[in-house]
Amino acid sequence: MSNKLLSEIKIDKIGSFQNRVVMSAMTRGFADKNHCATSDILNYYESRAKNDIGLIITEGIIIHPSADGYNNVPHLFTDQQMLSWKKIVDAVHKYKTKIYAQLWHCGRISHSDYTNGIDPVSSTNNPATGINRQNQKPYGKPRALKTNEMESVYNMFAHSAEMALKAGFDGVQIHMGHGYLVDQFIDGNINDRKDKYGGSIENRIRFAIELLDSLIKKIGNEKIMVRISPSRMMGGLYEWPEMMDTLEKLLKELDAAGLRQLDISCANSNYFETSGKIIRQIKKQWPHLLIGGASLTIDEAENEITEGLLDMVTWGRAILANPNFVKLIEKKLPLKEFNNSMRESLI
């Protein structure tokens, strides 16, 4: 029987999590036309809270209209949007579940269809390859951010983070993974800049560190988690170039800046061939809260915690398919299999 997974964990200034089960960020695309969260979205999250999930990390929430790239995703920019999320946070907090907002800038994984006609921004002028499944068009041509524009992007994140805390979220998760804006700076296969934000590893991680510094100045360090994905599935297994060097330098700087909570994602790849491998190498370097996962069995999750590799374990699709995930694993009952049709509605 799992012991550690269902045991409480405390985090400074955030408090107690009733267990170590985390609902991973999952974009669902059911926001209303003003990019507000709806009562259906409220029911979706409340049903997970009612069933004892330790921590919910919301779907990616767009920080500013210029940061969008997806159909019908929620934003956290206006008061109206903040109030729509406040209702969800209040509903979740009727139970013992904590909830973080995942804050998201798509960068070039977008198209001007989603950014009010303006070019999406990135570290580069080169578009992502392939067809955007959101609008069935090639990804839009991005515009490389100018050196003097970085601060305005940090301020967008900070505004959204402040709105999240105003709505009552227990914390924010800054999405630095999966090929979106921050990752477009870190990843040497994408970042082709010649200025102080490109070239060496130190330069490529500068955007992430300045962003974190700027957020910490505005909201402090205690309520910030960062999600990265050095090794993941992206049309096949994909790794950052110079992955371990980049990771070591990035973690050193994130730590020095004051970050204390990290999520290492491998998207939907095999955890043990990606994040699990990496975590075994960097765990000594990162003594702070570390979460990760991807469809782990309960025994595997328990083992990662017992071995001191993970503090909390994330599940995405299994919690989408089973709102009562924690109750089922407590009783050792079988989980319903996820299938793609479940993406089509908010269950």
Ligand X SMILES: Cc1cc2nc3c(=O)[nH]c(=O)nc-3n(C[C@H](O)[C@H](O)[C@H](O)COP(=O)(O)O)c2cc1C
Q: Are 205 and 246 in contact (CB under 8 A)?
A: yes
Q: Are 213 and 257 in contact (CB under 8 A)?
A: yes
Write down the least CB distance from residue 332 to ligand X, Å: 19
Q: Which residues of this protein are in contact with ligand X, per CB under 6 A?
A: 24-27, 59-60, 102, 175, 178, 227, 265, 267-268, 294-295, 315-318, 343
Q: Which residues are the active-site residues?
A: 180
Structure tokens at 196: 């102080």
Write down the least CB distance from residue 178 to ligand X, Å: 6
Q: Residue written as tokens 């002028």?
A: 125
59 vs 119 by CB, closer to ligand X: 59
Write down the least CB distance from residue 173 to ligand X, Å: 8
CA distance 205 to 103: 18
CA 346 to chain CA centroid, Å, is 19
Q: What is the DSSP letter of 60?
A: E
Q: Which residue is nearest to ligand X (CB)?
A: 316
Write down the least CB distance from residue 265 to ligand X, Å: 5
- Sequence length of the chain is 347
CA distance 239 to 86: 37
144 vs 296 by CB, closer to ligand X: 296
The half-sphere exposure of 75 on its side-chain side, counting CA atoms within 13 A, is: 24
24 vs 322 by CB, closer to ligand X: 24
Structure tokens at 212: 């974190």
26 vs 216 by CB, closer to ligand X: 26
20 vs 178 by CB, closer to ligand X: 178
Summary count for the chain: helices (H), strands (E): 11, 16
* DSSP-assigned states of every residue in 66-84: GG--STT--B-SSHHHHHH
Write down the least CB distance from residue 106 to ligand X, Å: 10
